Amino acid sequence: MEWKPIRKYYPPDFTDEKLQKAPDCKFVACEKDGVLPINYHSTSIFPEYYKVKGEWLLAKESRMDCQAILKDNEIIIIEMRKIKKGDLVAVGRTERGEDGILVYPFGFREEGKKENNDLFAFRSNSSRETSHSKSYDDLYATLKYEKDHGKIVYVMGPAFAFDFKAKEAMCKLINNGYCHCILAGNALATHDLEGEYLKTALGQDIYTKESMPNGHYNHIDLINRVRYYGSIKKFCEEEHIKGGIMCSLVKNNIPFVLAGSIRDDGPLPEVIGNVYDAQNAMRDQVRDATTVICLATMLHSIATGNMFPSFRVLKDGTIRQTNFYCVDAAEFVVNKLVDRGSLSVQGFVTNVQDFICNVARGLGL
């Protein structure tokens, strides 16, 4: 069966008697800023419909653990901390129409696929023994499609910055249009720039792995130099840095979000220190993303998974599926995304440095 990067969406059958007889969804006004009414409804990553005046309305930008408010006959999804007094919040804890709320995870069906009804099967979850050959081929097809028809966002831990070949492979993806945004932290950016400036990451040569004398100063020296210039872009220009992940992003005018951490050194000028400002910036980039690839960063992956729905409503009203990948050497991390509610995740249990080199080669770069 030929792999199709985008499956057709099959909407709910609203002629079904149960849905026709379902009551309108109840919306209750909030009494305080940031405080929800009793029995509020919490959203999922799946398409959700709310019955308003007899009509089922789709929440176009759903995501996990948020609230649905009714405004101008439209369903708006919003975080609890952004709720204002008087906002009309959907209430009801059922998901099949009983409270006028329909959570619909069945829209994207794979045509022609045989269903396996066995109660038991080996290797049903991602593990170190899972075969990835077809998964890689499917990913190549997806990226080739998304390059021109979607938005590809990478969520990256610092592991790439420690390996010359991995950095090179990621730069090829960026320079050839297979990356439209990167979400990361201070560490990824710092060690990547250190590699271009001093040829080390945390003082260790990124190719030979040889530790340099006083190398533990290198990342602080790098941060200090970037802070002197005031921005990563200015640093790359003034120090004539041509390669590396961050300078490739700057050169290609590709946005990035660096979310701060309690453990950060420096940090770099672009790092967002306020956690909620960082969350807002990440949401702004994820809002129109269609494929997300999370690479060796557990907490950033979980955060992005919570922000990323299983569907996207395009400008012409078409509902299309999204793709969410998690890549990590630890199967615990890959499967934790499923445990946290990101049920549409596709997992690769492998070293991310090897993964990104395989992806670049598979795309012919």
Ordered domains of the chain (ranges, CATH): 17-103 (2.40.420.10), 133-362 (3.40.50.10690)
3-state secondary structure 185-227: EHHHHHHHHHHHHHCEECCEECCCCCECCCHHHHHHHHHHHHH
**70 token code pair:** 């009714």
Give residue 130's pLDDT. 64
**CA dist., res. 332 & res. 326, Å (int):** 11
**2 token code pair:** 């030929």
For 146-163, write each residue's pLDDT tens digit.
999 999 999 999 988 889
Mean pLDDT of 228-235: 97
Is-contact 19 61, C-beta < 8 A? Answer: no
Give residue 338's pLDDT. 66
As a dihedral over the C-alpha atoms of residue 36, residue 42, residue 48, residue 49, rounded to 10 degrees, the angle is -40
Whether 202 has a pLDDT exceeding 90, the answer reads no
Whether 125 has a pLDDT exceeding 90, the answer reads no
Backbone angles phi, psi at 17, to 5 degrees: -55, -40
Query: For all residues of the chain together, what is the average pLDDT?
Result: 89
0.85 surpassed by pTM: yes
**CA dist., res. 330 & res. 351, Å (int):** 9
Give residue 201's pLDDT. 86
Helix/strand/coil percentages in the chain, nearest 5: 35, 20, 45
Residues contacting 216, CB < 8 A, separation 6+: 202, 203
Poorest-confidence range of 31-45, 193-207, 225-239, 327-341? 327-341
Poorest-confidence range of 8-12, 34-38, 245-249, 255-259? 8-12
**CA dist., res. 211 & res. 231, Å (int):** 28
**CA dist., res. 206 & res. 197, Å (int):** 12
For 25-36, write each residue's pLDDT tens digit.
999 999 999 999
- Cis peptide bond prior to 269, omega within 30° of 0: no
Whether 265 has a pLDDT exceeding 70, the answer reads yes
**CA dist., res. 192 & res. 219, Å (int):** 10
Mean pLDDT of 58-70: 92
% the chain with pLDDT above 70 = 91
**Longest Cα separation, the chain:** 75
Give residue 329's pLDDT. 87
**CA dist., res. 347 & res. 306, Å (int):** 16
Give residue 365's pLDDT. 93
Give residue 205's pLDDT. 83
Question: pLDDT band at 72, cuts 50/70/90?
Answer: very high
Sort 308 into a burial class: Cβ within 10 Å, 0-12 / 13-18 / 19+.
buried
Whether 295 has a pLDDT exceeding 80, the answer reads yes
Whether 186 has a pLDDT exceeding 70, the answer reads yes
**CA dist., res. 265 & res. 193, Å (int):** 14
Torsion sign over Cα 220, 221, 227, 233: negative
Nearest 5°: the CA angle 322, 316, 321 is 15
**193 token code pair:** 């720039």
Positions of E strands within the chain: 26-29, 48-52, 55-58, 67-71, 74-78, 88-91, 101-103, 152-156, 181-185, 200-201, 204-205, 256-259, 291-295, 311-313, 319-321, 323-328, 345-349
Mean pLDDT of 55-73: 93
